Amino acid sequence: MAASGVGPTVVLVGRPNVGKSTLFNRIAGTRRSIVAPVAGTTRDVVTAPAEWSGRNFTLVDTGGLFGATTDPLHAMVVDHGMRALKSADLLVFLVDGRDGLVVGDEQIAQAIRAVNCPVLLVVNKADDKRSVARANEFHKLGFGGQFEVSAEHGTGVYELLDALIAAMPAKSTEPAPEADPEIAIAIVGRPNVGKSSLVNRLLREERVMVSDLPGTTRDSVDVVLQYQKRRLRLVDTAGMRRPGKVATAGQVESISVVLAKRAMAQADVAVLVIDAAEGPTDRDAAIAGEAEEAGCGVVIVVNKWDLMAERMGDDPQQFVKDYDDKLRFQLKFLEFAPVIHVSALTGDRTAKMLEMAVRVADARRKRVGTSELNRFVESITAANPPTSKHRRQVRIMYASQIASAPPRFVFFTNVATEFHFSYERFLVNQLREKFGFLGTPIRISVRRRARKEL
């Protein structure tokens, strides 16, 4: 397994609250980084694919370096930011024109020079009169020409992008297109269940921040790795607490949860991480329901399984069975999802988790031919005739798969507009068993066949 990106890497660097995340979102064309008027909002290194004038590149947002912040994890933010600098093909050094040149800018400039990488100096908030008056102060940093932009309003950003493309390495550094489609895997769950530790274990490096402080991860941080010739995009999301607690926690956590839910909705597979020692909770069940509703494939990962060794007693197999029975009862929405017991600390069975996620993603995209589907439907309905919600006699005339990811089937009948819920569940289970729809929700709709006019 090896991490990889798309095209040259462009890293945004600067003090806290100078507008890096705003510029990141504008260039990437999506709201990936959280923007808030709180210094130190961005902690992890956030990446997104970007394109300009036919050139693809990987855009990287870093936490604020060497500036005023009350974030207790600032030292870790700086450490991760400095590592990102060393991976850059091009640096965009963002400063705040309203503040003018300050000591923090000079410290960052010194760190940048040590990297020996091309640098574009960008004075942000140029739409403010104070910025116009103080812009010349930044020439003292010695980076040659500088660009004046307003990341919030887009002023000067197109000119900056033209300069980015001109300063990038040759196109030969861009990888060839992948034969198989990329698989997006969202790592979701409550705070402190080990999501970030799991991502770091899979990458074999400290890519995302890990601490005992709840809410360490704020942005949805995605990283790309190669696994058995497949390109996987892992998205480490913020822990999702109960809505009542999120509402009282402030703007940053509220946005974090929104981004986590968005990542789940856009994922091919959601890996629901559960703390083995705590066991499944009502909040895990709520997240499970959201994953099923989003239509993504699901793998349930019970993390910290190494802590359970002392509890297993003389019959480990019975312990595991009882544990999983309780988990299945608690997570009723995910009876179709495979369960993997792992340890992010030791790495035990983490590769198995990736293998299962790939299998689920492939099953989610599977399509069944209409003739094969109807032969199967005919065989099961002969032994188990359908019933409608109102217990009317129903005949299935034919069926068709109308979509994949998730798989959707429509059944045309003589009278019914919906099946009885128990018969719908029967059909879903039969379809999954016959055609191998592992770990993915299956959607069913029923239509009455139109009568032929005489």
pLDDT tens per residue, range 30-61:
765 444 444 444 445 777 888 999 899 989 88
pLDDT score for 38: 43
Structure tokens at 214: 């709840």
Task: Supply φ then ψ for residue 317, to 5 degrees.
Answer: -65, -40
Q: 212 and 197 in contact (C-beta within 8 Å)? A: no
DSSP state of 40: T
pLDDT score for 23: 93
pLDDT score for 4: 41
Dist. CA 182–CA 266, nearest whole Å = 12
Q: Where, residue-wise, is CATH 3.40.50.300 in the chain?
A: 6-173, 183-364
pLDDT score for 429: 95
Q: Where, residue-wise, is CATH 3.30.300.20 in the chain?
A: 370-448
Which amino acid, residue 175? P
pLDDT score for 386: 86
Which residues of the chain, if any, have pLDDT below 50? 1-5, 33-43, 67-74, 173-174, 178, 209-218, 246, 249, 453-454
pLDDT score for 408: 97
pLDDT score for 127: 85
Dist. CA 298–CA 334, nearest whole Å = 8
Q: How many CA atoms lie within 13 A of 145 on its CB side?
A: 5
Q: Please count the other Cβ atoms lying within 10 Å of the Cβ belonging to residue 111.
A: 15
Q: 24 and 46 in contact (C-beta within 8 Å)? A: yes
Kind and range of the H or E element at 184?
strand 183-189
Class of domain 6-173: alpha beta
- Pick from 364, 198, 355: nearest CA to 268: 364
Homologous superfamily of the 183-364 domain (CATH): P-loop containing nucleotide triphosphate hydrolases (3.40.50.300)
pLDDT score for 207: 61
Dist. CA 342–CA 301, nearest whole Å = 7
Structure tokens at 394: 């129903």
CATH 3.30.300.20 fits 370-448, yes or no: yes
Where does 309-435 show beta strands of DSSP type E? 339-341, 396-403, 408-413
Which residues, 6+ apart, have CB-to-CB distance to 344 below 8 Å? 194, 197, 198, 200, 201, 303, 304, 350
Where does 210-314 show beta strands of DSSP type E? 221-227, 230-236, 269-275, 297-303
Angle between helix 103-115 and helix 74-86 axes, rounded to 10 deg: 40
